[in-house]
Structure 1
Amino acid sequence: MKFDKKDVEILKILQTDGRMSTAEIAEKVNMSQSPCWRRINQFERDGVIKNKVNLLDRSKLGMDMVVFTSINLVSTNLESIETFEREIVNLPEVVECYTMTGMIDYMLKIVTRDIQHYEQFVRSHLALIPNIRETHSHVSVTEIKDTSCLPLETQL
């Protein structure tokens, strides 16, 4: 997809404050409301805008533990991969999961209340998933940057 400068401006606003009205966005990008609304509507139809959500502050909800866990499977045949992935998507503590190249098969981002909750999660859920050969946990100490904003400037 090709995006012009106005598209990028609109998308930058939407990804930082999804509560803004179309009129407010149009004013910020210096265009009239109808064409701005049409662009936003097209972004939604094309799937550029996947979802509209509210971002919650995990610390204020008592979810202070972020752990990055690398996973290696015993076997990476199709059935093993599908089983692992089916299990992972059903675990709410796993907020992100990626297949990886190199020495590990998967990287998980796991959010829990504290280290005890993480240990309970591993023992009660993660360790019970078949075909896991090994896990390595990396506990986050300090959060330097946490954003859901994509680097849209690279689209021009």
Structure 2
Amino acid sequence: MGKDRKDSPKLSLDDIDLQILKRLQEDGRISNSKLSELVALSETPCWRRWKNLEEGGYIEEYRTVLNRRKLGFGVVVFTQVSLSSHNIELTNQFEQTVKGFDWVQMCHCVSGNVDYLLQMVVRDLDEFSERITMIRHIPGVNSVQSQISVKEIKNSSTLPLG
């Protein structure tokens, strides 16, 4: 099974490309004018590089990070899920179901003693109880273990570009 062109690493990025990517991670709303100033390029070459990075798949999307606490999501939960079987239909059904839950922020299929690791946000412990019940009712779910975050130390989606 071949990788999509956008997922394949390209070794042709130079220092300026990496600077552009780093600055865009810091501020996705930066103007081309400001970006070109920060990376020491004139505007047109900077804009071309930016567009090439988008077209090459290095930039997947732009998004706004919302303040979860201000919006009432006071609890972050990490949940480990084990399935009763690794049957492809069962795992596909679990994955598709979880993708539909907007309160599941991340879901990873992991190695080790469990099959999946989920990160969820909920408003309070009552909502947490409801969400865990929903997960337990997904066909094939064998066990669920959760850890509630008591303090967030770091939360970042930026990549270490140097």
- 1:151 matched residue in structure 2: 160
The yes-or-no answer on 1:107 pairing with 2:138 is no
SS at match of 2:156: coil
- 1:58 matched residue in structure 2: 68
Q: Distance in 1 between matches of 2:88 and 2:130?
A: 29
TM-score where L is the length of structure 2: 0.91
User: Where do residues 38-77 of structure 1 align in structure 2 (5 Å cutoff)?
Assistant: 38-77=48-87
- Kindly provide the CA deviation profile for residues 87-139 of structure 1, in whole angstroms up to 9, marking residues without a partner as x: 0000111000001011110000000111111111122x212100000000011
- 1:136 matched residue in structure 2: 145
Q: Distance in 1 between matches of 2:17 and 2:48?
A: 11
Moved over 6 A (4+): none
Instruction: Tell me the matched-pair count.
Output: 152
Q: Distance in 1 between matches of 2:160 and 2:30?
A: 20
* Unmatched tracts of structure 2, length 5 or more: 1-9
Q: Distance in 1 between matches of 2:73 and 2:57?
A: 31
Please tell me whether the aligned partners of residues 74 and 124 of structure 2 are also in contact (alpha carbons under 8 angstroms): yes
TM-score where L is the length of structure 1: 0.95
Query: What one-letter code is carried by the residue in structure 2 that aligns with 1:126?
Result: I
* Unmatched tracts of structure 1, length 5 or more: none
Q: Distance in 1 between matches of 2:80 and 2:131?
A: 15
Question: In angstroms, what is the RMSD of aligned CA positions?
Answer: 0.8
SS at match of 1:95: strand
- 2:131 matched residue in structure 1: 121
Query: What one-letter code is carried by the residue in structure 1 that aligns with 2:25?
Result: Q
Q: Distance in 2 between matches of 1:118 and 1:60?
A: 18
SS at match of 2:50: helix
- 2:108 matched residue in structure 1: 98
More helix by share: 1
Q: Distance in 2 between matches of 1:115 and 1:16?
A: 33
Q: Distance in 1 between matches of 2:53 and 2:126?
A: 43
